[in-house]
Amino acid sequence: MLYLIGLGLSYKSDITVRGLEAIKRCDRVYLEHYTSILMAASKEELEEFYGKPVILADRELVESCSEEIIRNSDKENVAFLVVGDPFGATTHTDLVLRAKKQNTPVEIIHNASVMNAVGSCGLQLYNFGQTISMVFFTDNWRPDSWYDKILENRKIGLHTLVLLDIKVKEQSIENMARGRLIYEPPRYMSISECCEQLLEIEEKRNTQAYTADTPVVAISRLGSATQTFKSGTIEELATYDSGEPLHSLVILGRQCHELEIEYLLEFCDDRDRFKQDVLKDQQFFKPAPWVPPQEE
């Protein structure tokens, strides 16, 4: 059996009882180690908690050498551990498909992820549209395909969850080209970096999917003891010190319920100003009032 097991957001004990029982039955245990990190537990702490050695699975192993993970899983029990929920990244869907092609039984054990825990900032999950990922810009690579998804969400009034980039066990272009197995230090995108990149692409596109005054809420270390929220405009949060990782951002949609606004007021510096920013922003993409057709 191949088990895909969600670990939750932060602590070693966030795993479900069912997930822990499955791990204890496994011969090999892999920990996916590039789409997210478990903020309050190290590899060694997990090994002690599970009573099993844990193999770190980087991007190369999962995407290019997945056969190693699936190997003998028709005869052995193999666990593939994912921070959050197993289907929080499309890579893991691919792993399941590969296993099924080999007639390997697969069992999924779900857990909390940013996709549902984001509701703790006060925004209603029903009001979210497409989720986007914000990657680190480089001198010659500044992708902006995500901009169109924000625009689509905003046109129909929905919030946009922005997942911020992390770089774990990544090579520089030079080292990759020279075939040197030298890895860069881990990097985690901050809220301010994300907001700066949002503003840069809006200036480039200039179609006002959002503006510098669009309200957003910063989410830091979701699910941990130091979880924090900060609401303000994109421009304001472009200078916000969000502290230790991990971080996410939500761009508010036009259909912001009064209870959502009331909740977000707890996280802003100036309640009156933030409320006015939200009300002003709700005019963007607001449908024109219905006018009955004239009778002939």
User: What pLDDT is recorded for position 238?
Assistant: 98
Phi-psi region of 243 (alpha: psi -120 to 50; beta: other; left: phi over 0): left
Asked if 63 and 272 touch (Cβ cutoff 8 Å), the reply is no
Considering only 9-13, 97-101, 119-123, 197-201, which range has the smallest mean pLDDT? 97-101
User: What pLDDT is recorded for position 179?
Assistant: 63
Q: What is the mean pLDDT of the chain?
A: 92
First to last CA, the chain: 71
Percentage of the chain modeled with pLDDT above 70:
94
User: What pLDDT is recorded for position 171?
Assistant: 54
Query: What's the pTM?
Result: 0.91
Residue 122: what are its φ and ψ, rounded to 5°? 105, -10
* Three-class secondary structure of residue 216 per DSSP: strand
Q: pLDDT-derived band of residue 64, with 50, 70 and 90 as boundaries? A: confident
146-193 pLDDT tens trace? 999 999 999 999 999 999 999 876 655 665 566 665 566 789 999 999
Asked if 109 and 64 touch (Cβ cutoff 8 Å), the reply is no
Is 113 annotated in a binding site? The answer is: yes
Question: What whole-number distance in Å separates Cα of residue 209 and Cα of residue 147?
Answer: 7
Asked if 7 and 82 touch (Cβ cutoff 8 Å), the reply is yes
Integer Rg of the chain from CA: 22
Is 222 annotated in a binding site? The answer is: yes
Domain 115-285 has CATH 3.40.630.30: no
Is 62 annotated in a binding site? The answer is: no
Question: What whole-number distance in Å separates Cα of residue 188 and Cα of residue 202?
Answer: 23
* Angle value at C-alpha 213, between 212 and 218, nearest 5 degrees: 85
Q: Give domain limits for the chain.
A: 2-112, 115-285
Fold of 2-112: Cobalt-precorrin-4 Transmethylase; domain 1 (3.40.1010)
Which of 119, 249, 264, 229 lies closest to 189, judged by CA? 249
Q: What number is the average pLDDT over the span 50-54?
A: 96
pLDDT of residue 33 exceeding 90: no
Is 85 annotated in a binding site? The answer is: yes
Q: What number is the average pLDDT over the span 262-275?
A: 97
Q: What number is the average pLDDT over the span 64-85?
A: 89
DSSP state of 8: B
194-243 pLDDT tens trace? 999 999 999 999 999 999 999 999 999 999 999 999 999 999 999 999 99
* Cis-peptide, bond into residue 161, ω within 30° of zero: no
Burial of 266 (0-12, 13-18, 19+ CB in 10 A): exposed
Q: What number is the average pLDDT over the span 34-53?
A: 93
pLDDT of residue 60 exceeding 80: no
Q: Which helix (H) or strand (E) holds 57?
A: strand 55-57
